[in-house]
Structure 1
């Protein structure tokens, strides 16, 4: 179908070109005839009225500008048609460009709003991370430290109440007591570590990783201490 329309359009163009060539020959012949008549009548273009000369020059210039074969109304109308088509095409393209420009402006405005919102959220998150007190992240460590201190103090009180004497008690009890004291001494650096956590960088992921490791260590100490205390109490009963 497209090929048929293209062939038809080509045929019409060829016909128009042939007619324009024929009109050009006719125009040339008429021009020569008019020139011959003017010479025969001994009349020049300067002898014509200014208005007539203006019309002749206007028609000639129009024919040249429109690239037509002659200055007849039909030929000039035929030359104006492509101009009208080109004008319509340019108006359509201009309308499309305006619509595309409006769409682009809308996208740019939305992008600016999204960028502003993202920047605001990022700043809020950063501020929240900086303002967050690292001591809240180490609350668990502080509670465990206090718990172990209370257990150690309770155990020492119980030993004093039972008149614990290293020289007269069973060697196993003495060994458990020394191990408990060793565990207590291992808990002492915890306070220093807790103080160090208050100087953690704003990157909380690193702080959380360190805290998690400390929790694992404390859990192991807690299990070990609980086991020692249970064994000590069982041996002392």
Structure 2
């Protein structure tokens, strides 16, 4: 089928050599269908134009007969009448009417007026939709701008907070290292003092422990004093 179509297209000329495979055949087949569809459309348009031409010819003959019955002819008409007649024919062709009768002309004018009103209504609706789309677009753009600004502020705050956290982490590490260093120095000093004959009870660790025990003893003494005071406040037994 494709081969016959190619021969028909090229007529007496040889068909160019092409690679025959499924893809090329599909492409040529699709092209063939499109070409045949276009030819059919052109044939329909030509037939319609021939039909209109026949109608206009028949109308012309009828008009000639009418003029002949009135004792007139196209050549005997005045220039103004000829111009009016030509305008009437052009109007009928522009309005795509089947004849030049007033009924056909008025119907065509009414139909085109209605189509014009519908088109204007559609255009107004499209303008309204376009206006709404512009408003929505502006709103979205403003929202996007605000979101970008908020994101920038958040990133700046996060960056500042990150700097603070890093600074605190650095300070905490410094304090931990310093505390460890002091503990090591205190332990070394205590060991040195013990090595020189100083009692272990005078070391830093022992003093800290003694201070903690002293705090506990003070709390215990305060509690006992409170109980003793309550005992003294009791009435004497007679």
TM-score bracket, normalised by the shorter chain, equals 0.3 to 0.5
Greater RCO, CA 8 A, separation 6+? 1
* Rg (Cα) greater in structure: 2
TM-score, normalised by the number of residues in structure 1: 0.47
